[in-house]
Amino acid sequence: MISVFGSANMDLVAYTARAPQRGETVAGRAFATIPGGKGANQATAAALAGADVAFFGAVGDDAFGPVLRRGLEAAGVDVRGLRTVAGSSGIAQIVVDDDGSNSIIVVPGANGAVTGASADDLEVIGRSDALLLQLELPMAAVVATARAAGAPVVLTPSPVQELPGELLDAVTLIVPNEHEARAITGLADPEEALGALLERVPEAVVTLGSEGALYGSRAGERLHVPAVPVRAVDTTAAGDTFVGALCVARAEGRSNAEALRFAATAAALSVQREGASTSMPARAEIDAALT
Ligand code: ATP
C-alpha cells in the first residue's frame, strides 16, 4: 500500500491567444477545470498503476471540494483521510497562450490549513510500503509527517525551496527534476548533483525530462534509465506519474532497474495525452507498453 500526504488543487485553465497585460481584458478561446495538485496527482498515478493508495490532505467546503474528492475516488484512491475545511479549495489559475507559455497563480486554500497527519492517518501511513510527500503543503506539516511516518519516505522537492535538515534526515528517496536538483545542490551537472544528494539521503533519482532519469544509492548502485521515445503533447505531471509508478513497482518488490523502466513507461504514456490526472495511464496500458 502507498500513502500520499499532499495537496489537492483545482486547475482553472484559460486558453488565449496571448496573456493579458496589467489592467487589460482579453478574450479567451477555451476554459477547463482539471483536478491537480502534486499530492493528488501522485496518488492518482499510483492507484492507476495498480496499488492500494490512501490520500491525506484537505479540500475546501466550496464547489471544487467534492469534485476533487470524487476524482480521487474514481481513480480508486482511499480518501478517508481527506478533510473538508472551511474556505476555498486549493486552486491554480493558469493562463495558456498560443505559444504554449503558462502564467500561473497558485492559491493554497485548504492545503494551507493542513497541519499534519492525525494519529489515525499515521496508523495507516505506518503500514504503508511508502509515504509520498511533496512541498505544496506547509513545510511544518510535511516535516512533522515525515518524521512520524514509520514508513519509507519518498520526497518530491517541488516547488523547490530550502529543505530543513530534519526533513532530509527522514527521507529514504528524493526525486527532484534536474532544475530542482541544481537548486538544492548548487551543481548544474545532474551526475554531480546526484552524488551530492546521496550525501544527505540514502537514495535519489534525478529526472531529466526526455533524457530519462538517473538513479543512485549510497550502497553504490548507479543507473541511467532512458526516456521512452514518444511524441510529447503535454508533459504536465510527467514527474508525478513517474514517482507514483516508481513507488508502485518498488512496493511490488521489483529491482530498481525494473521499477525505473516501469516509471519511465508510465510517464511516457502520460506525456502523449493532454492534462495532469487526465493523462495518467492505467496498469494494463503500462504493462502492454512494457512488453
Ligand atoms: P512535470 O513538472 O512536467 O511534472 P518534471 O519536471 O517533474 O515533470 P521530468 O524530468 O520532466 O519531470 O519528467 C519525468 C519523467 O517523465 C522523465 O524521467 C521521463 O521518464 C518522462 N518524460 C518526461 N518528458 C518526456 C518526453 N518528452 N518523452 C518521454 N518521456 C518523458
Host H or E run for residue 128: none
H-type alpha helices, the chain? 38-48, 64-74, 119-126, 139-148, 165-168, 178-185, 190-197, 238-251, 256-271, 283-290
pLDDT confidence tier of residue 99, bands split at 50, 70 and 90? confident
Residue with cell 480508486: 76
What is the average pLDDT across 86-95?
A: 96
Least Cα distance to 51 among 219, 206, 276, 280 occurs for 280
Is residue 11 scored above 80 in pLDDT?
A: yes
pLDDT at 275 over 80: no
Q: How far is CA 6 from the centre of its chain?
A: 9
Query: Cell numbers 510517464 label which residue?
Result: 267
Ligand 1 pocket member 208 (CB < 6 A): yes
- CA-closest residue to ligand 1 atom 22: 209
**Region of residue 35 (phi > 0: left; psi between -120 and 50: alpha; otherwise: beta):** beta
In DSSP terms, 225 is beta-bridged to: 213
What is the band of 271 on the pLDDT scale with cuts at 50, 70, 90? very high
pLDDT > 70: percent of the chain: 100
Express each pLDDT in 21-64 by its tens digit: 999 999 999 999 999 999 999 999 999 999 999 999 999 999 99
What pairing do the DSSP bridges indicate for beta strands 53-60 and 130-133? unpaired
Of 183, 178, 156, 182, whose CA–CA distance to 167 is shortest? 156
- In this prediction, residue 81 carries a pLDDT of 97
Could you tell me which residues are beta bridge partners of residue 223?
215
- pLDDT of residue 287 exceeding 90, the answer is yes
Known catalytic residue: 240?
Answer: yes
* CA-CA-CA-CA torsion sign (268, 270, 275, 276): negative
pLDDT at 240: 97
pLDDT reading at 176 higher than 90: yes
Q: Which of 54, 55, 52, 72 is nearest to 10 (CA)?
A: 72
Q: Atom 5 (ligand 1): residue with closest C-alpha?
A: 239
Is the confidence at residue 276, as pLDDT, over 80? no
Q: With 90 as the cut, is the pLDDT of residue 208 above it?
A: yes
The CB of 246 under 6 Å from ligand 1? The reply is: no
What's the distance, Cα to Cα, between the start and end of the chain in Å?
Answer: 25
The arrangement of strands across the sheet holding 78-85 comes to: 78-85, 53-60, 2-5, 130-133, 153-155, 173-174, 203-207, 213-217, 222-225
Query: pLDDT tens for residues 235-268?
Result: 888 999 999 999 999 999 999 999 999 999 999 9
268 lines ligand 1 (CB under 6 A): yes
pLDDT score recorded for residue 37: 95
**Chain mean position to CA 276:** 10
Measured by CA distance, the residue closest to atom 12 of ligand 1 is: 239
**pLDDT number for residue 254:** 98
Of residues 240 and 274, more confidence is placed in 240
| Assigned C-alpha cell, 144 | 512533522
Q: CA nearest 274: which of 231, 229, 240, 234?
A: 234
Residue 100: the pLDDT is 74
Whether residue 77 has its Cβ less than 6 Å from ligand 1: no
Pick the catalytic residue: 120, 169, 240, 287? 240
Cα separation values, 198 from 4, 135, 172, Å: 23, 20, 10
pLDDT for res 98: 87
If you take atom 13 of ligand 1, which residue's CA is the nearest one? 209
Percent of the chain with pLDDT over 90: 92
Give the integer Cα–Cα distance in Å for 211 and 200. 25
| Residue 76 confidence (pLDDT) above 90 | yes
Q: How many CB atoms lie within 10 A of CB 152?
A: 19
| Whole-number pLDDT of residue 279 | 86
Please write the tens of the pLDDT for every residue from 143-157: 999 999 999 999 999
